[in-house]
Amino acid sequence: MVDVLPTISRVPGFQVAGVACGLKKNGALDFTLIVSDTPCTAAGVFTTNQVKAAPVLVDMERLKRNPDRIRAVAINAGCANACTGQQGIDNALQTARWVAERIGCAEDEVLVMSTGVIGTQLPMDKIRRGIDLAVESLSENNWETAARAIMTTDTRPKMASVNVATENGPYTVAGIAKGAGMIAPNMATMLGLLVTDAYQSPASLEVLLRQAADASFNRIVVDGDMSTNDTVLLLANGQVGVIEASAAALPDAVLSVSRKLAQNIVRDGEGATKFITVHITGAPDNETARIIANTIATSPLVKTAFFGNDANWGRIVAAAGRAGIPLQPEKLSLWITPGEEYGTRLDSLLLFEQGMPTHYSEQQAAAIMSKPAVSIYLDCGSMGNGCATVWTCDLSHEYVSINADYRS
């Protein structure tokens, strides 16, 4: 894996802005605009929820038709533009049209994303104001402001970037993301936008983004809910020239940025006090390993035990047992390790071996469980070579408070 920076300095040819246009009641930043000086190839991955928000439907259609000439993405927070019928579609299209008029491109070269409360129409006067303010403040150096303006219940902005050296010169992959609740294995209320000045054909870009999302944004769990708006976009403006050959490192760079953003979403999960890595080995295959990992990561009993610093292997094993995957209980073994990296290292503690608890020290277990990051490693025995890693967080009082009060 390459070095991932937690900031974004600039990505040649991309100008960004984050402004406040009144969508959020508290006056916080709520509108982001990203503009490329030249047309980009682009790809997107979208929510699999049957109820898709208007901007999702619009972007899916546009990327099918114009994946090689995207110029801008407009993102608003505060209103999800979901369950809004034909007027919601019209408002999404109008947003894109206004952006196109202001930056000088065709309206179908603009994509839109929305996040926030479901079921209310976009207040178009505020959107108009957001576009005007954003266009005026576009700059190559506004990435942190842009990342802040897409936040909802997030407590901090999420950014990551990678610089890749090639024989044709360096290029950058950078991304911003938002999301803190409704985070499930298939993306949930999360928005992500990645950009690069490398070049890649639309078809390759789509494969590359899908693979990266599958190993990052689709491997995180906050609460198992999946939203109507989930979208990750990747725009490539090719400003460094056509360097498809030397773009060999591009998948790795996109994956690295995606994974860092995804992990930051979990770290900032609603009410989260702990970052938890769930690693499964010895499953029949990778897909079954992933199902077992997701079942553990989604279990309220496992998540509350982590909140209580309780090395409750019984709940972990019981969650694995109900994942719907054939298991041989007498072959299960389970370790916990302090930190984000799972393992059977010296500082790992074997809690459960061949179907039964070990005589581990409760004191040592509690010491590991009280760390801000803890890893679970469950080996299913000799059933196969399937393995998977999923990241999640604990379930705290604060999660309940946030979500019992969200609309009020």
Binding test (CB under 8 A) with a copy of itself, winner from 91, 142, 298, 392: 298
Minimum distance, C-beta of residue 312 to a copy of itself, in the bound complex (Å)? 6
Residues 227-256, one symbol each (x = binds a copy of itself by CB under 8 A, - = not), give xx----------------------------
Residue 222, CA distances (Å) to 95, 218, 255, 263, 270 in order:
31, 11, 20, 11, 8
Residue number, 260 or 274, with CB nearest to a copy of itself = 274
Which residues 323-382 are close enough to bind a copy of itself by CB under 8 A? 323, 325-327, 329-330, 332, 352, 355-357
The phi and psi torsions of 303 (rounded to 5 degrees) equal -70, -35
**Which region among 45-53, 129-137, 252-260, 337-345 touches a copy of itself (by CB under 8 A)?**
45-53
Determine, following the binding rule CB under 8 A, whether residue 308 of this chain makes contact with a copy of itself.
yes
Residue number, 28 or 402, with CB nearest to a copy of itself = 402
Residue number, 189 or 277, with CB nearest to a copy of itself = 189
Nearest to 78 by CA among 38, 130, 37, 22: 22
Q: Catalytic one among 189, 228, 288, 392? A: 189
Q: Which residues contact 344 (CB under 8 A, 6 or more apart)?
A: 335, 350, 377
Q: How many residues bind a copy of itself (CB under 8 A)?
A: 66
Determine, following the binding rule CB under 8 A, whether residue 60 of this chain makes contact with a copy of itself.
no
Residue number, 237 or 281, with CB nearest to a copy of itself = 281
The phi and psi torsions of 101 (rounded to 5 degrees) equal -60, -40
Residue number, 172 or 295, with CB nearest to a copy of itself = 295
Binding test (CB under 8 A) with a copy of itself, winner from 35, 73, 113, 226: 226
Residue number, 36 or 114, with CB nearest to a copy of itself = 114
Binding test (CB under 8 A) with a copy of itself, winner from 39, 314, 339, 381: 314
Determine, following the binding rule CB under 8 A, whether residue 183 of this chain makes contact with a copy of itself.
no
- Bridge partners of 163, per DSSP, are 172
189 included as an active-site residue = yes
Residue with token string 């608003």: 76
Residues with a catalytic annotation lie at: 189
Judged by the rule CB under 8 A, the positions of this chain that interact with a copy of itself are 48-52, 80, 82-85, 117-120, 181-182, 184, 186, 223-228, 298-301, 304-305, 307-308, 310, 312-315, 317-323, 325-327, 329-330, 332, 352, 355-357, 395-397, 399-401, 403-408
